[in-house]
Amino acid sequence: MDEKQLITDLQNGSENAFRCLVELFQNKVYNTVLSIVQHSEEAEDISQEVFIEVYESVKKFRGDSKLSTWIYRISTTKALEAHRKRKASKRFAFLTSLFGENDEIIHHPTTFEHPGILLENKERAKLLFKHIDQLPDNQKIAFTLCNIEGLSYQEITEIMQLSLSSVESLLFRAKTNLRKSLKDFYMNQDL
């Protein structure tokens, strides 16, 4: 089924078209979300939310961009919202624990695993994802879409709704920040 027909069928409420859409994009959506939130259960929930939003708002889709671009945009937006919400709740839990109102601090797990990583690279991947998570949000999204999802700069400009030079700048700064933080990490390790 070509993209135009898929969009038309989706806009007409076809369950078959929606099933086809989910099959086409479920891994891409899940992996993109997982790269940002770094919790598999949360990524599954957010991925479902992405498809619910696609289903509910597909009638408004005008076709100004490719369907995949639109879905990536929804995915990154929802993932960032969840990530920011979790960060805010972690800060709040920490602050309230200082004042004795709440003895429980929410801990961010350090054992994140992405499904596309080979076994021998898992330790390095965990370290890399930990450092990616520390990047500013726009750098994190651009880096994830380019280097983990393998999207072109042009696709990233459409998803992030930025100019090509802005995306190039974000990627340059992300790589520079990662090099610095990873270098600092390795320099401080007792080998």
C-beta separation of 34 from 51 below 8 A: no
- Report d(CA 14, CA 98) in Å as an integer: 53
Any idea what the Cα angle at residue 132 is, between residues 130 and 138, rounded to 5°?
145
At residue 74 the predicted structure's pLDDT band, cuts being 50, 70 and 90, is very high
Is 0.85 topped by the overall pTM? no
* pLDDT tens, position by position, 116-144: 555 556 677 777 888 888 899 899 999 98
**Four-CA torsion 22, 24, 28, 34, nearest 10 degrees:** 20
Q: Distance between CA 132 and CA 35 in Å, rounded? A: 9
Q: What is the pLDDT of residue 100?
A: 41
Nearest alpha carbon to residue 90 among 107, 103, 102: 107
Structure tokens at 81: 């919202």
CA distance 59 to 155: 22
From the list 183, 179, 109, the residue with the least C-alpha distance to 139 is 179
Delineate the domains of the chain, giving CATH numbers in brackets.
Answer: 1-109 (1.10.1740.10), 111-191 (1.10.10.10)
pLDDT digits (tens, 9 = 90+) for 13-70: 999 999 999 999 999 999 999 988 888 899 999 999 999 999 999 999 888 889 999 9
Of 114-128, 133-147, 150-164, 171-185, the range with the lowest mean pLDDT is 114-128
Residues 3, 20: Cα–Cα separation, whole Å: 11
pLDDT band of 106, cuts 50, 70, 90: very low
pLDDT for 93 equals: 47
Residue 183's pLDDT is 82
Q: What is the per-residue pLDDT for 114? A: 58
